[in-house]
Structure 1
Amino acid sequence: MRPAFTFTEIREAEKSILEKEGIPSLILMENAGKNTFDVITSLYPDINERTIVIVCGKGNNAGDGFVIARHFLINGIPVEVYNLSGPGELKNDALINFEILTKLASGMCSMYNITENEPDILYASLKKLKGKALIIDALLGSGTKGSVTGIYENVIEQINTLKHKNIKIDVISVDVPSGIGESNTTGTAVDACHTITMGAVKTELLYGAGKENTGSLNVVSIGITNDCFERVNIYGKYLVEESDVKSLFPKRKKTSYKYSNGKSLVIGGSKGLSGAVIMSSLAALKSGSGAVLAAYPQSISTHFSRKLNEVIKTELDETPDGSIAGDSYTRILKQQSKADAVLIGPGLSLNSETANFLFDVIINSPKPLVIDADALTLLAGKIEILKQRKSESEIILTPHIGEFSRLTGKTTEEINANRFELVRNFAKEYKVNIVLKSETSLSCTSDGNIYINNTGNELLGSAGSGDVLSGIIVSLLAQSGKVSTAMICGNYIHGMLADIYYDKYGNKQSASQQDLIKLIPAAVTEILG
């Protein structure tokens, strides 16, 4: 796992490392620029066929750009550098690398100044371009506060216009897309095809405007090891990598049998909402549960009979509305005793009588619980139930931002601005584990460690997606007995389904949840391979 930091945290971490280890910052800039150059050339095998344009500001981000330009020259690739810094504005490492570049420039490096008097020379030059080009954005780093204005805003808009009007022009941002700052501004920002960030993952690139503008994210070393970053990582946030999932994912023993491979109990469904609990049950089966048990109201039993032959079924009494009756807890005791983990919520309905059944399950169930969907909305009205449990077995809550808003009483804006602290505080207060679903989902354990998932795409933003995820999570919880494994691997596998679909069909819009469920075996095969 890679340590993950906010913009402010990474600056504090790097400062601490530099002071303790005595590493010159000039060396770090050289490593960052050289390694970024290497990533660029790996991303673009046709690099020699492209016009290379590097747009530099006046801070350390510009210094990285000058180093990158020098390595293009070293490798015999011509480059154009457009500089927004005026006389005397470059300082320290950026100035040193600018001076080195000017000495080595020769005829292969053309240098231009973008000024208030000539604000459009970049656009004027590239709009006439016939061949392919690559614009490297080294304008502004992570220290940007508020929205970008003036000549910088103008140049960013020009870069975006050139990219959107000419499919032969790609844009790479160095460290962050210029305009994305500590406040994760919604103002003007570079719309990058790729972002190559330095040293460690910056969380602002994974959410909101950062997610929208970053493109594919690559992390390059600046000469500080993950161990060094981990020694100063007092923030407890990590980006999950494929190797982590491969090592954590539960694997069947050769001597295993159906009841030793994880038994999942899925509780939910109501009149008109049978699909949710069916999808969760099917996802649990496809994710490797040795047996899946389901408990649901009688009126939707025909749907289960037609669609899920492999599930062990229990029909429950129901309310006049067709949801599970309030006094049904005793009816699930036998199935609950067989299960290794329980999921409750998909399609449960918001019936007040059914809420009483939910509260009985939460208070009395001795088994690890995954609480999802309607169950979260009902729970929000009586959150103190979480502190009345008779068992110390683990709970995983799987809210999206709106559901977490109802659970906490915070607005969605407050959550988006401060998600890590709010999730961590809630998990610790109620001694629960949380999967917070959003454009980049995260898992938070009850002791406050946060694991950020970066698989998936906008295909997952459709009805039923959460039901599939909760089915995967309860299956992995039943198989492994570990909440961290279930959350980390569940999020990762779920995201993989969207990525596999995109790789196969080339779009991020048309998949149904049934399409994604069918891809679970392919995702599991990739992880086990």
Structure 2
Amino acid sequence: MSTSTTDHEHMLALVRRMIPPLSPKLHKGQAGRVGVLGGSGDYSGAPFFSAMGAMRFGADLAHVMCEPGAGAVIKTYAPDLIVHGVLDSSLGLAQAKEQLKSIMSRLHVLVIGPGLGRDEFMQSCAREALIMAKEMDIGVVVDADGLWLLNSEPELVKGWQGVPRVILTPNVMEFKRLCDANGVEASETLRCAALARALGNVTILEKGAEDIVSDGKPLPSAFSTSTGSTDTLVDSVQGGLKRVGGQGDILSGTVGTLLAWGREWARGSYAHVGSPADPELAPHVALLAAYGASAFARTVSKRGFELKGRSMVTHDLVDLVGPVYADMFGGEVKGKL
């Protein structure tokens, strides 16, 4: 079960339609304001890679909401990121919630989970952020320990109104835990769509040997796939052979950026710069964001492995984001690998 080369190129062409052109008519922030909620005391790298992945991919602004100690470290990594050390357990959840609400009011999309950890306070912050994102019409990507929260509270991602705006990015073990928690026992080829339906038709990017993407609904005819499936996309783009920690964080930042762009495109925000929304594709921007980010992350990993082999680390991939973006999606950024 894999997409043909023609299907893959067709899907990338659809993804390109959501990407805002660089134009003097767009002001700072219109081309993506992405937030990352995570970064506990032990994990400062993950939110950095997610936020910097979003920035290198093309987001205008990236905010990191994290534990104060992690924030102090992340600020030394990159002054390009706006770092808020607001997840302070010593000040309590109520104050953290107020500060999160203020920051989230500026965002198009929030990525929840990179470096979050499973501490009760950090999990509570993630819970409050999901509730607020639902109320504030913010897109959400849930990854890593953000998914741990959904094992016991799946209702947090159910019943969101409007254009689909929740994307989950589980790896093999995270996906299995979600299936077990939601009583999904379908065959391997059908589980992604079944889990998406069990969770209220969220979009799921199931990471594995091939990445599987579904929201549990019939695919639109515009996708023109030949997989034999009516509700599932399969990304069989070759990735790198080394599975180093942090690659999934770059993926989450990329998904977040594409979801931000897609939702703004669907709203008509880029019509005045020559990129009007397509009514047929607008309801499916989460699927396009998930597929585009999957193909992109796998390609970045492959390029990094070609350059570094076994010595490859995630930091090597950050500098490849721009050149690989130019190769896959075209545009103004040039670079040689």
* TM value normalised by structure 2: 0.77
Which structure shows the bigger proportion of residues in strand conformation? 1
CA–CA distance in 2 between the matches of 1:248 and 1:391? Answer: 20
Matched residue SS, 1:496: helix
Asked whether the equivalents of residues 246 and 527 of structure 1 are also in contact (C-alpha less than 8 Å), the reply is no
Matched residue SS, 1:419: coil
- Highest RCO, 1 vs 2 (Cα 8 Å, sep ≥ 6): 2
- For the pair 1:496 / 2:274, whether they are aligned, the reply is no
Residue 381 of structure 1 aligns with an amino acid whose one-letter code is S
Residue 168 of structure 2 aligns with an amino acid whose one-letter code is L
- For the pair 1:277 / 2:59, whether they are aligned, the reply is no
Q: Which consecutive residues of structure 1, in runs of 5 or more, have no partner in the other structure?
A: 6-199, 202-218, 220-238
Partner residue, 2:287: 484
Structure 1 residues 400 and 292: CA distance shift in structure 2, 3 A:
same
Partner residue, 1:466: 248
- For the pair 1:260 / 2:260, whether they are aligned, the reply is no
Matched residue SS, 1:350: coil
Structure 1 residues 257 and 436: CA distance shift in structure 2, 3 A:
same
Structure 1 residues 355 and 497: CA distance shift in structure 2, 3 A:
same
> Which among 352, 356, 359 is matched to residue 124 of structure 2?
356
Structure 1 residues 276 and 336: CA distance shift in structure 2, 3 A:
same
Alpha-carbon displacement from aligned partner over 1:361-417 (angstroms, at most 9, x marks no partner): 222313111000011112212223333668876210110110011112179xx98x9
Asked whether the equivalents of residues 362 and 389 of structure 1 are also in contact (C-alpha less than 8 Å), the reply is no
CA–CA distance in 1 between the matches of 2:93 and 2:242? Answer: 33
Equivalenced residues, count = 288
CA–CA distance in 1 between the matches of 2:178 and 2:92? Answer: 24
> Which among 318, 324, 337 is matched to residue 88 of structure 2?
318
Matched residue SS, 1:409: helix
Residue 132 of structure 2 aligns with an amino acid whose one-letter code is N
Alpha-carbon displacement from aligned partner over 1:117-159 (angstroms, at most 9, x marks no partner): xxxxxxxxxxxxxxxxxxxxxxxxxxxxxxxxxxxxxxxxxxx
Residue 248 of structure 2 aligns with an amino acid whose one-letter code is G
- For the pair 1:380 / 2:151, whether they are aligned, the reply is yes
Deviation for aligned residue 1:259 = 1.1
Task: Please identify the structure whose Cα radius of gyration is greater.
Answer: 1
Partner residue, 2:221: none
Structure 1 residues 312 and 368: CA distance shift in structure 2, 3 A:
same
Residue 288 of structure 2 aligns with an amino acid whose one-letter code is T
Matched residue SS, 1:285: helix
Alpha-carbon displacement from aligned partner over 1:476-504 (angstroms, at most 9, x marks no partner): 11122221221111001101112223444
Structure 1 residues 461 and 418: CA distance shift in structure 2, 3 A:
farther
C-alpha root-mean-square deviation of aligned residues, in Å? 2.6
Residue 82 of structure 2 aligns with an amino acid whose one-letter code is I
- For the pair 1:427 / 2:169, whether they are aligned, the reply is no
Asked whether the equivalents of residues 456 and 497 of structure 1 are also in contact (C-alpha less than 8 Å), the reply is no
CA–CA distance in 2 between the matches of 1:325 and 1:453? Answer: 43
- For the pair 1:527 / 2:320, whether they are aligned, the reply is no
Deviation for aligned residue 1:256 = 2.1
CA–CA distance in 2 between the matches of 1:393 and 1:484? Answer: 9
Alpha-carbon displacement from aligned partner over 1:205-253 (angstroms, at most 9, x marks no partner): xxxxxxxxxxxxxx8xxxxxxxxxxxxxxxxxxx851342144221424
Residue 169 of structure 2 aligns with an amino acid whose one-letter code is T
Residue 303 of structure 2 aligns with an amino acid whose one-letter code is I
> Which among 336, 339, 343 is matched to residue 107 of structure 2?
339
CA–CA distance in 1 between the matches of 2:190 and 2:156? Answer: 22
Structure 1 residues 253 and 491: CA distance shift in structure 2, 3 A:
same
Structure 1 residues 405 and 325: CA distance shift in structure 2, 3 A:
farther
Partner residue, 2:187: 418
Asked whether the equivalents of residues 164 and 203 of structure 2 are also in contact (C-alpha less than 8 Å), the reply is no
Asked whether the equivalents of residues 285 and 292 of structure 1 are also in contact (C-alpha less than 8 Å), the reply is yes
Asked whether the equivalents of residues 326 and 355 of structure 1 are also in contact (C-alpha less than 8 Å), the reply is no
CA–CA distance in 2 between the matches of 1:344 and 1:460? Answer: 25
Deviation for aligned residue 1:318 = 2.0
Matched residue SS, 1:459: coil
Structure 1 residues 514 and 341: CA distance shift in structure 2, 3 A:
same
Deviation for aligned residue 1:460 = 5.4
> Which among 8, 11, 15 is matched to residue 248 of structure 1?
15
Structure 1 residues 325 and 405: CA distance shift in structure 2, 3 A:
farther
Partner residue, 2:278: none
> Which among 74, 79, 83 is matched to residue 309 of structure 1?
79
Matched residue SS, 1:259: coil
